Chains A and B, each alone.
Chain A
Amino acid sequence: MRLPGWITVKRRPAPSPWLVFGISLAAIAAALIVAGIFFQIYGVSPFRAYGDILRGALGSKLGVTETIRRMIPLLVIGVGLSVALRALFWNIGADGQLLMGAVAASGIALFSGLPGPLLLPAMLLGGFLAGAAWGLVPAILKARLGINDVITTLMLNYVAISIVEWLIHDPWKGPTMRGFAYTDKFPAAAILPTIAGTRIHWPTLLIGLVAAILLFLIVKRTRVGFEIRVAGENPHAARFSGISQTKVTLFAMMISGGLAGIAGVGEVAGIHHMLLAPNNISLGYGYTAIIVAWLARRNPLAVILTSFLFGVIMRGGDVIKVSLGLPFQLVNVFNGLILFFLIGSEILMRYRIRVGRRQQA
């Protein structure tokens, strides 16, 4: 790209964390401004809209708890994605892994016949394993045959969606549901406890927070975490040092898929108490979680913050649906804009762009 002579572009060797933070913040701000313009064109005052969002998300007990409720799957999946992305594995399939976790949990809840106290732990374990397995398939295909991970994880999403649709329409269709496409309601012992008066299914939240801390420590301070970081940041050096790319990929995907599976367990056992249509289980959590992990610069602890931010956005979408009559799809607009501005801003982090008189070489 030829630039006019009064712009000089120089590669920046190592952007400081503050710069990264600042530019990310600026990107979000830019997205919000553009969204605000969009509101204005639509005839809604942006200040009113943002005001409603903030009040609705943070201004009341209901608001905050609903925000947290939205945050939970984003947190859990986001933490897993931060590890997968570090290993350079593009897990676009978190939605599918979430659904398979939900399937496993539903199957255990409805048909396993396990005694009450064992149900929830079994569901969580089953959900983790199902999600991990769903994630391992593309991982093995990549490690063994070099097949593109973006496509395989993406394709498996839709296979998972179809599997859930089949289950709720056919073999698992709840006889008590009067012809609707849901399974039966889960037995009481298979329902995740929530904080009183809210919809926050705290075991999943706890798992998410613990996972964030644990994975942060693992990545930073253990052998395998070191290997993941090296493999992700310079695969040549990893090979040179005898680090097995296969081992790293499989480990990372096991964690990422497993955590997404747990998010699925959380949704069906914590919120809906049954297996239902895929679009109602995951509102694109798997995709939003990519932005969550990206914004957090793949740092599991930072995911706690960014997942909260996107929880606010989702809750905000719920709120202005009612207060301003704007459809929930608006959340997608926000997400899309933020993501675009984020990736667009990366060029500012990679390069130093100076505007001014031509510099002497």
Chain B
Amino acid sequence: MSWESWIVATLSRTLAYGTPLLFATLGEIYTERAGVLNLGVEGMMIVGALSAFVVAYTTGNPWLGVLVSGVVGGAFSMIHAFASITLRANQVVSGLALTMLGLGLSGVVGRSWEGWPLWTPLREVTVPGLSRIPILGPALFEGQNLLVYIAVLMAIILWFVLYKTRIGVTIRSVGEDPATADSLGVNVARVRYLCVLVGGILAGIGGGYLSVAYRPSWTDGMTAGMGWIVIALTIFAFWNPLLGLVGAYFFAMLFHLSFRLQAWLAPELLKTMPYVLAIVVLIVVSRGTLQKRMGAPSALTIPYSRGED
């Protein structure tokens, strides 16, 4: 294979595989920025995947499938929100339970939908003009679908909202110092619920992308641990949507390369990279000032209650 076509193929697959990672990571970034840890990403993604497939298959409309995947993911995340915010239950356990439930429900309900290919996946689009750029053109602007570009757009929008708007200030304050936010009249619980919802919707759409565009079909467990990579990615991105963009594509590229470079490097070992890198990031950030600059939101996993409780 020529160099050029190798690069084109790599970039193209990176973009494709990075998209679900990106959607879900953006969602989890918002959730964690508000101070809630949601380990249920895998569960939310897979119920999104199943619902998107079912709707797309039965209605023939993949976009409707994507929409429904967001709704289902969002609704599913509300279970975790209720448990961790209102009931102030342990967030780790609640998230794990959500994943179990998600995997279980999708596995059972999806049984009868397995093995049917989707005849109406998301259509490939070609961006006129841009697709003529040598190498980058065919790689990035040809043969992808709209959802890929929507993901990039979402990353930019969500970055803007988080850092440049009042809503973003509110979200970040709730995750860092909910007591202060509360004393200034911010409704901490409501902000947290909203952010968990955003996380659920985006994770659902990420899953929907898998079954409606990436591999148009449904298989039990088709997310294959992607949700856990998202958890690692959120840390690797320092809870910043733009870095999440970079990270998602970086990990996607690693994943793709792990197959291509099989001759030189064991693909399985390359697959450990996201997790190892996340731990490295945590170690680096554990030093004092870096913690403040780029560390986890201070109130992450701590349920908030006003006053003596």
Contacts and interface: CB of A to CB of B under 8 A. Distances in A.
Interface of A: 1, 11, 42, 90, 92, 141, 145-148, 150-152, 154-159, 161-163, 165-166, 169-170, 284, 287, 290, 294, 326-337, 339-340, 343-344, 346-347
A166 B265 CA distance: 10
Interface of B: 37, 39, 43, 79, 83, 86-90, 92-94, 96-108, 111, 189, 220, 225, 228-229, 231-232, 235, 266, 268-269, 271-272, 274-276, 278-279, 282-283, 286, 296, 301, 309
Given A327-B107, A343-B94, A332 B266 contact: no
A343 B278 contact: no
Given A330-B104, A343-B83, A336 B111 contact: no
A156 B275 CA distance: 7
A326 B98 CA distance: 20
A133 to B, nearest CB: 15
Contacts of B101: 332-333, 336-337, 340
Nearest to A340: B97
A332 B276 contact: no
Nearest to A152: B279
Nearest to A161: B225
A339 B88 contact: no
Contact of B96 (A155, A161, A339): A339
Given A92-B92, A327-B111, A329-B220, A159 B272 contact: yes
B89 A331 contact: no
B97 A339 contact: yes
16 contacts: A1-B189, A92-B92, A145-B286, A157-B228, A158-B274, A159-B272, A161-B225, A162-B271, A169-B268, A290-B96, A327-B111, A330-B107, A333-B101, A340-B101, A343-B94, A347-B89
A102 to B, nearest CB: 15
A9 to B, nearest CB: 10
Contacts of A11: 309
Interface centre among A162, A327, A335 (most CB of B within 10 A): A162
Contacts of A335: 97, 100, 104
Contacts of A156: 275, 279
A198 B47 CA distance: 37
Contacts of A146: 286
A339 B231 contact: no
Nearest to B309: A11
Given A156-B275, A159-B272, A162-B269, A329 B96 contact: no
A347 B303 CA distance: 13
Nearest to B286: A145
A162 B273 CA distance: 10
Given A158-B275, A327-B220, A344-B87, A150 B92 contact: yes
Contact of B225 (A158, A294, A326, A332): A158
Contacts of B96: 92, 287, 290, 339
Contacts of B104: 329-336
A74 B203 CA distance: 31
B268 A340 contact: no
A161 B268 CA distance: 9
Nearest to B43: A336
B266 A148 contact: no
A290 B96 CA distance: 10
Given A155-B278, A340-B83, A330 B108 contact: yes
A343 B105 contact: no
Contacts of B231: 151, 154
Contacts of A343: 83, 87, 89-90, 93-94, 97
Contact of B100 (A327, A339, A344): A339
B174 to A, nearest CB: 16
Contact of B86 (A1, A151, A284): A1
Quick one: which of B98, B99, B108 has the most chain A CB within 10 A? B108
Contacts of A328: 107
Contacts of A162: 268-269, 271-272
B228 A166 contact: no
A76 B271 CA distance: 29
A249 to B, nearest CB: 16
Given A166-B269, A327-B107, 6 more contacts: A92-B96, A161-B225, A165-B271, A169-B266, A332-B100, A346-B87
A337 B99 CA distance: 11
A335 B39 CA distance: 16
A169 B266 CA distance: 9
Contacts of A150: 37, 39, 92, 301
B37 A154 contact: no
Contacts of B100: 284, 287, 332-333, 335-336, 339
B93 A339 contact: yes
A198 to B, nearest CB: 28
Max chain B CB contacts within 10 Å: which of A145, A329, A339? A329
Given A1-B189, A335-B100, A290 B225 contact: no
Which 5 residue pairs are nearest across A and B when measured between Cβ atoms? Answer: A329-B107, A332-B104, A336-B101, A333-B104, A336-B100
Contact of A145 (B98, B189, B283): B283
Contacts of A92: 92, 96
B261 to A, nearest CB: 14
A155 B279 contact: yes
B266 A170 contact: yes
B235 A151 contact: yes
B59 to A, nearest CB: 22
Contacts of A154: 39, 228, 231
Contacts of B93: 290, 294, 339, 343
Nearest to A335: B100
Contacts of A169: 266, 268
A155 B275 contact: yes
